[in-house]
């Protein structure tokens, strides 16, 4: 069976140059404004579905799947989401502040000595320009254990502001095999509970490419509240919160992307 090739999203040099210079010189800018600039002329043009679910005035926490592959960097989904949210908001804040890794991790060797420090420098520049919240890489070897405390406290403080900041997070921390959903790392669910504190709703969003046209698509779902009893042990609260977020995200994705949450998402549609 012949398959449709994946599109290769590109942008013109003039449209890329302005945001690139802002990042290089650490000039604070609007992520939605620069996102709209990058998206102009993209082919096929990314689309945003069900934007009516985006709260126009009230705060929310955005949760989204991590989605990228060769020819389609993760920033394309981020740009499409940022532009869609800003267009729907009727009051400040209009720009969303995404959480991202502070650096790419490399094993010992040339990559660790050269590439990793460069990514940390570059991502720091992006953070300064667009207000991104930098978190240490999520690894299973505990190399960065405990280093995210200050960043987490800073993110939580932003949700207590007046008005609360709009924050966005991909709980998985990485793209799953074959672009399917994967299980978030330990602690991701508790982090979501800290950010929402039983009052801020969660806005789910699924990123995927259309099966027929291969158009990059962001699909927003109805906001919901995390429902996790406080009396449960910490590990169970963590697991339940992460699972609720991922199932809501998965319900906005094609069935082929449900991954480790296939049965739960299927049961959701059959209920």
Which residue in the block uniquely carries the two structure tokens 């009516």?
A: 52
Tens of pLDDT along 219-241?
999 999 999 999 999 999 999 99
Query: Between 12 and 197, whose confidence is greater?
Result: 197
Percent of residues in the chain assigned helix, strand, coil, to nearest 5: 40, 15, 45
pLDDT higher than 90, residue 137:
no
pLDDT higher than 80, residue 132:
yes
The predicted pLDDT at position 6 comes to 55
pLDDT higher than 80, residue 160:
yes
- Ordered strands of the 47-49 beta sheet: 47-49, 216-220, 202-209, 61-64, 166-169, 96-101, 133-135
Give domain status of residue 206, yes or no.
yes
SS3 call for 120: helix
Closest to 61 in 3D by CA, of 97, 100, 94: 97
| Helix ranges, 40-115 (H) | 74-88, 110
Average pLDDT over residues 6-32: 80
Average pLDDT over residues 15-36: 88
Neighbours of 264 (CB within 10 A): 15
Average pLDDT over residues 87-115: 89
DSSP string, 157-225: HHHTSSSPPEEEE-TTSSPPGGG---PPPTTHHHHHHHHHTTTSPEEEEEEEE-TTT--EEEEE---B-
The predicted pLDDT at position 42 comes to 78
The predicted pLDDT at position 142 comes to 56
Average pLDDT over residues 102-125: 86
Give domain status of residue 6, yes or no.
no
CA distances from 145 to 5, 114, 232 (A): 40, 22, 24
**Distance between CA atoms of 128 and 136, rounded to whole angstroms?**
16
Is residue 131 within 8 A of residue 31, CB to CB? The reply is: yes
The predicted pLDDT at position 141 comes to 47
Look at 29-33, 153-157, 180-184, 225-229 and tell me which has the smallest mean pLDDT. Answer: 153-157
**Distance between CA atoms of 189 and 184, rounded to whole angstroms?**
8
Closest to 196 in 3D by CA, of 58, 79, 72, 81: 58
The predicted pLDDT at position 16 comes to 78
The predicted pLDDT at position 146 comes to 59
Is residue 248 within 8 A of residue 201, CB to CB? The reply is: no
Give domain status of residue 7, yes or no.
no
Give the total number of structural domains in the chain.
1
| Average pLDDT score over the chain | 88
Domain that holds residue 166: 13-270
pLDDT higher than 70, residue 11:
no
CA distances from 212 to 1, 3, 4, 65, 66 (A): 14, 9, 8, 21, 21
**Distance between CA atoms of 3 and 209, rounded to whole angstroms?**
13
Q: Provide the β-strand partners of residue 135.
A: 101
In angstroms and rounded to an integer, the radius of gyration of the C-alpha atoms of the chain is: 18
Tens of pLDDT along 35-79?
998 888 777 789 999 999 999 999 999 999 999 988 888 889 999
Give domain status of residue 1, yes or no.
no
Tens of pLDDT along 250-271?
999 999 999 999 999 999 888 7
User: What spatial distance separates the first Cα and last Cα of the chain, rounded to whole Å?
Assistant: 34
């Amino acid at each position: 069976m012949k398959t449709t090739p994946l599109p290769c999203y590109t942008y013109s040099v003039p449209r890329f140059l302005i945001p690139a210079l802002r990042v290089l010189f650490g000039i604070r800018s609007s992520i939605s404004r620069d996102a709209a600039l990058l998206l102009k002329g993209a082919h096929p043009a990314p689309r945003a579905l069900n934007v009516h679910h985006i709260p126009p005035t009230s705060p929310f926490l955005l949760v989204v799947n991590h989605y990228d592959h060769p020819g389609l960097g993760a920033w394309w989904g981020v740009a499409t989401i940022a532009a869609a949210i800003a267009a729907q908001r009727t009051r400040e804040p209009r720009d969303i502040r995404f959480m991202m890794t502070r650096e790419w991790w490399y094993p010992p060797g040339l990559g660790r000595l050269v590439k990793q420090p460069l990514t940390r420098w570059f991502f720091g520049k992006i953070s300064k320009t667009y207000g991104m919240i930098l978190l240490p890489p999520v690894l299973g070897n505990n190399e960065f254990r405990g280093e995210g405390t200050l960043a987490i406290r800073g993110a939580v403080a932003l949700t207590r502001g007046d008005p609360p900041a709009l924050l966005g997070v991909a709980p998985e921390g990485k793209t799953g095999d074959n672009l399917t959903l994967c299980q978030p790392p330990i602690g991701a669910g508790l982090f979501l509970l800290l950010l929402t504190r039983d009052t801020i709703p969660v806005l789910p969003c699924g990123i995927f490419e259309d099966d027929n046209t291969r158009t990059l698509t962001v699909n927003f779902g109805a906001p919901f509240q995390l429902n996790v009893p406080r009396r449960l042990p910490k590990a169970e609260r963590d697991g339940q919160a992460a699972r609720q977020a991922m199932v809501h995200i998965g319900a906005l994705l094609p069935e082929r992307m449900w991954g480790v949450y296939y049965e739960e998402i299927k049961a959701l549609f059959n209920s």
